[in-house]
Every structure is written in structure tokens, then in C-alpha cells.
Amino acid sequence: MLKIALTQRIALLVLLLVAVVLTMTTLSQNNYLSAPYSPSYMASTLINLVPLVLLGLAQLLVITSGRGGIDLSVGAIVSLTGMVFGFAYGEWGWSLFPALLLAVAFGALCGALNGVLVAYVGFPALITTLATYYAFRSLALVINDQQPISTQPIQDLYSTAATVQLPFLPESFPRVPLGIFTFLIPTVIVVWLVLARTTWGRRLYAVGTNDVAAEWTGIDVRRTRFTAYVAAGAISGLVAVVTVAQFASARPDAGVSGTGMALPAITIAVLGGVAITGGIGRVAGVVLAALLIVWLNAGILLAVPGNTGSQLQLLALGAVLVFAALLNGITNRRYGGTQ
């Protein structure tokens, strides 16, 4: 049983998810929470799931590429790209689809800078992405004199973050955020297909497992690793559009306020079974880990309302990160990794 729990990360995450929901539901039924922990409440919190899953997938790609791969700059890319998108769609009069493509392309360009420095120049990923984090964050602040962009077209985007009633289901069924269908599901499917069904995906796992052996087999290690950072940047650009829609404003601090978006994304990736040493990681694990964090945080806010609850969320996030790292370490030493 212990071996299954350690090596089958998907099964473990499902068990933890069920445990969290049952615990919070029990507390709610006994009036220990400030509001009901109901299906409708759980569905409404899924709006937080979209950026977390997408950035978790971005971290999955770069961490899986190996050699200490990590991207601390994703939150700053979200902030800077969100401002660029805000200018294009909110002030320059671009239509939505070209502005969306610009955001993805600009995010990919930011990721390409990370990729060049890490894959071709040979800088450590931690130092590189920390440096670009500061650079992108500063640019996001100065590009519009630290002011958000909240023109009418930007405010109208809030409708894309609204909840919708699922077809063919009774009206009593909880409404789900539209972003689940417009951003999350398509991105999850694309990343899964790329990793599981393409040559590049197999090369990425090979490079992350042993880049020397991969190079001997003819794989262009540097190009593969570079592309992982480009893809992570592109996903971050997509998240920028999501955050602009959710806030109804292009904010220069959207991805860096508080603890930022990078650390929760890294936590989700590690909890989802992505090996920090590279070469191991599954899309399903990232999705389930993000869902676990979202519903755990939602329960904490009901149990401890106000600022104290927000601080306890950070404590829980840190505890989850330590737990995930410990779990991965034990699994790698005893069983050779997760599945």
C-alpha cells in the first residue's frame, strides 16, 4: 500500500483531494466554517484554477528539461505581457484574437531570452530566471508609469471570466468559470499531446533524464531545452490574458503581487510528481495538484476568514512544498521515481 501511495502520484493526489473535500464538508455541516463548503462554492473557486494549472504546466516543461531547470520569471512575464496585451487591445484598437496572439508571442519571446541564457550560454536556470524576473517586473512597472490599463475594451473582457451553466445538465448543477473551457482544457490537451505523442516530448524526457546520453543518440539537447523555456513563456503569455480578463484591468503587478505566481506554480509542479532533477512529470499530476491547492485554500478562507486566513494559505503552501519535496525524495531513493 505504501509503495502504491509513493509511486502512483495520481492515485495519491486523488486520495488527498477526496480527504480535503470530505474534511471541509464535515466542518461545514457542523458549522465550523463561516459559509457552506458547497458544490457551488467549490465550482466558483475554479476561477483560480486556470492560471495555476497553466503556470504549473509551464514549470513542468522547464523542470522536466533537467539540469536544474526552473523558471522564477513566469509571474513577471505575466505582468509584462499583460501590459503589452492591455496596450494592444485596450488602447491601440486591436481586435481580441490578434492581441491574444501578440500576448502569446511576446511571452514566448521572454521565454526565449531565458532559453538562450540557460541552454546556449550555460547560465544556471535559478540565477537566470531570477535576473529576468527583476528585469521583466521593472519593465512592467515603468512601461505605463506604474498605472494599470482599464479602458472600456479591457473592462468588457471580464465577461470571459464569468461562470456559465453547463449544457444538458439541470440548473441546480453549479455554474463553472468560462475560462475552464476557453483556456484551461485546450492548453492541458495540447501540452499532454505534445509530451505524450510527439518526438519533441520524448526528447524532452530523454534530455531531462540524461542529457549526455541523449546527445549521444543524436538529440539536440540545447535546442530541446531552449524550446521548453520558449513554450513556458508562451503559456505565461496566455495566463497574462486570463489575469487581465479576471481583473478587468491590465495591472503591472498582476503576476508578482504578494508571493507572486512562480512559487505556487513550482509547488504545484513538484506536488504533481514532477522530479526536480528532471526527466519525470505528468500533466494529470499537475492538474490534480492545482485542484488540491485551490480547494484546500478555499476551505482555509472559510475556516479562518480575513487576513489571517490568507497568511495561513501561505503556511499551507509552504508545508505542501516541503511535503512534496520529501515525498519525491523518498520515492526516488526507494523506488526510482513516480508514475
DSSP string spanning 266-280?
Answer: HHHHHHTT--TTSS-
- Helix ranges (H only) for 39-148 are 39-44, 49-64, 74-85, 96-115, 125-142
- At 64 the pLDDT is 97
pLDDT of residue 156: 92
What does the DSSP 8-state code read for residue 166?
Answer: P
Averages of pLDDT over each 10 residues, the chain, 339 residues: 61 89 92 89 93 97 94 97 97 95 98 98 96 98 94 91 78 86 96 96 96 94 97 98 95 90 93 90 95 93 83 84 77 63
Residue 7 confidence (pLDDT): 60
pLDDT at 168: 72
pLDDT score for 235: 98
**245-274 b/e (C-beta count within 10 Å ≥ 16 → b):** bbbbbbbbbbbbeeebbbbbbbbbbbbbbb
pLDDT at 233: 98
Separation between Cα atoms, residue 32 and residue 309, nearest integer Å: 14
Give the pTM: 0.93
pLDDT of residue 338: 59
Which pLDDT score is estimated for 121? Answer: 96
Return the pLDDT at 339: 53
Q: What ranges do the domains of the chain cover? A: 48-151+173-262+275-280
Taking only Cα atoms into account, the Rg of the chain, rounded to an integer number of angstroms, comes to 20
